[in-house]
Amino acid sequence: MKKYYIKTFGCQMNVYDSHRVAVILENMGMSEASSIRQADLVIFNTCHIREKATEKLFSDLGRVNLIKQERAAEGKNTVIGVLGCVVQAEDEQIAKRADFVDFALGPLTYYRLPEILQKIARKSGQTIIDTDFPAISKFDFLPENKSAGGCSFLAIQEGCNNFCTYCVVPYTRGVETSRPVEQVIEEAKKLVDGGTVEINLLGQNVNSYHGEDKNGKEQSLAYLLRKLNEINGLKRIRYTTSYPADVTDDLIECHRDIKKLMPYLHLPIQSGSDAILKAMNRRHTSGEYLEIIDKLKSANPYLGFSSDFIVGFPGESDADFEKTLEVVDKVKFIQAFSFKYSKRPGTPAAVMPNQVEEKIKKERLQILQDKLFDYQLKFNQSSVGKTMEVLFEGKGRHPGQLTGRTPYMQNIYADADKDLLNKIVSVKIGEATMNSLSGKIVRE
Ligand code: 5AD
Ligand code: SF4
């Protein structure tokens, strides 16, 4: 039996895509290898969101090529493939600089993998590249998804029409498309039948979901959440990533009405300065963002928020940066992801004047992260002594331990029997650090 190894970079959408690729390969009779060295097929699923990804990919590929040559000396063939957003942006470079790569497929064409692997088996040599933006949906051609354990991702929307001036996604994942309601519900039911208790709905701009129902009528994310809420056996629902301007009143009401919807929302603001938000082509001001947060909190006072931030966007002054810090103090995010602005070729911001010096970006990131980490630590500390419902997702670092997530996405570990893997269990929180909690299972 042939073995495959997939290394995934980047966002949760890539994790989902890699899982779907694994299902394709397993349907073809392959099984997962424990290391690259053991693999007959090595796949990198790549991310292009910030700089250095491409260089990192080429150094990783160089290393795999050495392994390929060692294996060849032992009479073993190794097929090397690249998937994901770097392929979409750098296909020519891949063909030129890494001609030993057998195939390179963009995020929308990997459903063609079986056919491509057959082609390679017949005649290896040239790199097969496919970076189409096909008119058809890959979801109509992929084999049925399989549960990834207690918690599974489910892509409901892909691509983006927002064109934030810093972002490559509209160019790598294409225009926004939504999967039909029935297709999503069917996939969710299959996942739940396979043991999934938590589904995380994915989309680059998930809350602008507008999939068609059976009658061809476009439906919203709120509609979909209410439908998913009806699936017996599904215990937890999340969705990510949301765009502030597309948070509708209907969606806000879901956070009041749907118990299965976890009390954690990732809602990127990027900057607290209205001038910078405008230059980023965001369709919201910081005031509007704060209003949405207030409305969400009135719907569900237990909601915790996380966000993405970019510091050092072209033209960002000290005063602009201060505004970002003010927003953090107002919302008190329970988790956050913050980045130095990174020039992406082909995006409007890359050629804007007044690019910010690296030194200043670094300083601002440090100041912002100190503040964000402080709120995150305080939130985690406020969990101590509480009992939380934890979904155990994996083995802990020490024997006899499992790790999981609280409703607020906090990482947690506890001594637990491995039978509790993929189950939701009450855990009393004992200790907290910035990155994780520990606790003890509450015996009923
Ligand atoms: N530079 C820095 N951060 C970026 N992000 C997206 N593009 C860039 C860029 N060019 C960040 C945004 C986004 C997250 C996924 O990555 O904060 O929300
Ligand atoms: Fe990376 Fe964005 Fe592509 Fe995800 S969608 S893989 S984060 S570039």
Q: Which atom of ligand 2 is nearest to the CA of 45?
A: 6
Q: Would you say 230 and 257 are in contact if contact means Cβ atoms under 8 Å apart?
A: no
Q: Which atom of ligand 1 is nearest to the CA of 337?
A: 17
48 alpha carbon, closest ligand:
2
pTM (two decimals): 0.95
The predicted pLDDT at position 129 comes to 85
Tell me, using a 6 A CB cutoff, whether residue 159 lines ligand 1. Answer: no
Tell me, using a 6 A CB cutoff, whether residue 48 lines ligand 2. Answer: yes
Burial (CB count within 10 angstroms: exposed 0-12, middle 13-18, buried 19+), residue 283: middle
Q: Tell me the per-residue pLDDT of 395-418, one tens digit each, with 9 for 90 and over.
A: 999 999 999 999 999 999 999 999
159 alpha carbon, closest ligand:
2
Q: Which atom of ligand 2 is nearest to the CA of 107?
A: 3
Tell me, using a 6 A CB cutoff, whether residue 341 lines ligand 1. Answer: yes
169 alpha carbon, closest ligand:
2
Tell me, using a 6 A CB cutoff, whether residue 53 lines ligand 2. Answer: no
Q: What's the 3-state SS for the chain?
A: CCEEEEEECCCHHHHHHHHHHHHHHHHCCCEECCCHHHCCEEEEEECCCCCCHHHHHHHHHHHHHHHHHHHHHCCCCCEEEEEEHHHHHHHHHHHHHCCCCCEEECCCCHHHHHHHHHHHHHCCCCCEEECCCCCCCHHHCCCCCCCCCCEEEEECEECCCCCCCCCCHHHHCCCCEECCHHHHHHHHHHHHHCCCCEEEEECCCHHHCCCECCCCCECCHHHHHHHHHCCCCCCEEEEECCCHHHCCHHHHHHHHHCCCECCEEECCCECCCHHHHHHCCCCCCHHHHHHHHHHHHHHCCCCEEEEEEEECCCCCCHHHHHHHHHHHHHHCCCEEEEEECCCCCCCHHHHCCCCCCHHHHHHHHHHHHHHHHHHHHHHHHHCCCCEEEEEEEEECCCCCEEEEECCCCCEEEEECCHHHCCCEEEEEEEEECCCEEEEEECCC
Tell me, using a 6 A CB cutoff, whether residue 166 lines ligand 1. Answer: yes
The predicted pLDDT at position 124 comes to 61
- Measured by CA distance, the residue closest to atom 14 of ligand 1 is 308
The predicted pLDDT at position 126 comes to 77
Q: Tell me the per-residue pLDDT of 219-244, one tens digit each, with 9 for 90 and over.
A: 999 999 999 999 999 999 999 999 99
Domains of the chain: 3-130 (3.40.50.12160), 144-262 (3.30.750.210), 269-377 (3.30.750.200), 387-441 (2.40.50.140)
The predicted pLDDT at position 440 comes to 97
Tell me, using a 6 A CB cutoff, whether residue 106 lines ligand 2. Answer: no
Which segments of the chain have a pLDDT < 50? none
Tell me, using a 6 A CB cutoff, whether residue 270 lines ligand 1. Answer: yes
